[in-house]
Structure 1
């Protein structure tokens, strides 16, 4: 058996018996083992991004933004973190905040990527933008990411500044 991270190859062996007659009239049996066939199984290798996308699709089947309770959607990259409040019935973004906005990007030096402090600031900004537009209740969509670290910090900061979810 040969094993790789994405494929497994199995070889099945077959035993065959040959009967031959020697010149002196004595029979002789010989056993020969030969490969019958080779079977290769390919496994689908998924990346962490594909796993996250699959989780996000599963979550989106349950979490839906309505005009009364829009969806707070979070996206995290290696350089930035984004938050949007979306009304899914109209497919319309009601408010947004990210680390690319000038007030947040000038406030922090995050050359090594966004930190928990930066995520908290984005949470504050999205809560402030929602409250200015009269949105108090949202449905939190973590985007397939674990509720930990930057995602948790953004959610906690948004709650502390008046959003309910």
Structure 2
């Protein structure tokens, strides 16, 4: 089993568990250049909020789009947008990625912004 297959297997397992919880899902996508975060409603049919390092308001003042500082800024912004949409409690879907580095920075910043995981 290669890395990608293992990651997608972990993601599928996590999403099945989150579906049973019935709460909005904060999902993360990490690429070599950017970090993306989206907030889906409980059934996954609608995006309630989104933030990424490709957006100009997120990029302002950052040295790089691909470090933990950029991921933390995405976490803070997604928390603000979620609270504006009326969402306080979410399930964190890390998409099978290990919980460290940019994923951990985004999650910690979202928690500091007021989201409850």
Q: How does the TM-score come out when normalised to structure 1? A: 0.66
Decide which structure has greater helix share.
Answer: 2
Gaps of 5+ in 1: 1-45
Query: How many positions carry a matched residue from both structures?
Result: 116
**For residue 148 of structure 1, what is the aligned residue in structure 2?**
100
Distance in 2 of aligned mates of 1:88 and 1:128: 19
Higher relative contact order, chain-length normalized (CA < 8 Å, sep 6+): 2
Deviations 1:29-69 (A, max 9, x none): xxxxxxxxxxxxxxxxx332222111111111111274xx3
User: How big is the shift at 1:88?
Assistant: 4.1
Decide which structure has greater strand share.
Answer: 1
What is the aligned counterpart of 1:109 among 60, 63, 73? Answer: 63
Structure 1 runs, 4 residues or longer, greater than 2 Å off: none
What is the aligned counterpart of 1:130 among 63, 78, 82? Answer: 82
User: How big is the shift at 1:90?
Assistant: 5.5
Higher Cα radius of gyration: 1
**For residue 76 of structure 1, what is the aligned residue in structure 2?**
30
